[in-house]
Structure 1
């Protein structure tokens, strides 16, 4: 039974991250879930003065929250370019490897190439199948790289749409794993 959700995404970098995390957790509660926001576990005690020790403490805290969660709700929107946040990608992979369901959301429909064309055209070459460096774009009609889009339930919209889909899947007794 899914009751708790790890809230993965670059949202921790927002200037209003704590308040945003509280809003995300309130949305989860409205749909019957407990939201676990990464900053919840990143207490001041992690700041040791040594950046690497602090990073290790944050890593362990986030892994602890991921392990405690029943599923992951992931913001896989583009972040600082035409790909999702790398930390979020790791968290999704970790959850998938642990057998946890992952519901992910992106703001718009379309394949990865279409989304890049729409939002980050400066990354594309004249040949729509290549980037500006001549590297091939992955094009399977999925909104993200297949290693993210295949194991995740992909939802177009925001966190609310993803929560609605998860709740609907659970209520319909669909296999959400």
Structure 2
């Protein structure tokens, strides 16, 4: 039974990250889930070394993913034409643990189409390769296949993804 959701995404970097976390958790509650937001945990004041803080945050986030029944991931582009790398790791970790992952992105289109529309400066003159001559993945999926294949991707916001997840739970979490 899916009850607790780890809320993965670059939302933790927003200037209003705490408020965004409360908003996401409220949306989860409205949909019948408990949201676990990474910033719900504070690095202990005694840990002042940045590398020790990073290690503590890593362990704390892994602990939240372990506690969660599923992951809800904001997979929108972040700081360029790719999702946040930390979020991608969290998605992979959850998939490896056999936890369902539901992602959300803001628009329709294949990965290449989305890059061309939102980050045209990253595309080479031919429109097929990037600026460095590397191919742009084009399988008709909205993100790299390693994210698109294991995780249903909802076009919309967190609320739309939660609605999809709630429907999925009704179908898949029925007593047998």
Is TM-score (shorter-chain normalized) higher than 0.5? Answer: yes
Q: State whether residues 47 and 54 of structure 1, in contact with CA within 8 Å, keep that contact through their aligned partners in structure 2.
A: no
Tell which deviates more after alignment, 164-173 or 76-85: 164-173
| Aligned counterparts, 1:130-145, within 5 A | 130-145=129-144
SS in 2 for 1:103: strand
Note the residue ranges of structure 1 that are not aligned, 5 or more in a row: none
Note the residue ranges of structure 2 that are not aligned, 5 or more in a row: none
Query: Could you tell me how far 1:44 is from its partner in structure 2?
Result: 3.8
Match of 1:104 in 2: 103
TM-score normalised over the length of structure 2: 0.96
- From the superposition, tell whether residues 47 and 81 of structure 1 become closer, same or farther in structure 2 (CA, over 3 Å): farther
- 2:86 & 2:25 partners in 1: Cα distance? 20
- From the superposition, tell whether residues 59 and 34 of structure 1 become closer, same or farther in structure 2 (CA, over 3 Å): same
Q: Does 1:26 align with 2:19?
A: no
Query: Which ranges of 4 or more aligned residues in structure 1 deviate by more than 6 Å?
Result: none
Match of 1:88 in 2: 87
- 1:170 & 1:50 partners in 2: Cα distance? 42
* RMSD of Structure 2 on Structure 1 (CA): 1.3
SS in 2 for 1:172: helix
Match of 2:51 in 1: 52
- From the superposition, tell whether residues 22 and 125 of structure 1 become closer, same or farther in structure 2 (CA, over 3 Å): same
Count residues in correspondence.
Answer: 174
Query: Could you tell me how far 1:128 is from its partner in structure 2?
Result: 1.9
1:98-155 CA-to-partner distances (Å, cap 9, x unmatched) read 0000000000000000000110000001222200110000000001000011000111
TM-score normalised over the length of structure 1: 0.95
- 1:46 & 1:94 partners in 2: Cα distance? 28
Match of 1:76 in 2: 75
- 1:160 & 1:115 partners in 2: Cα distance? 21
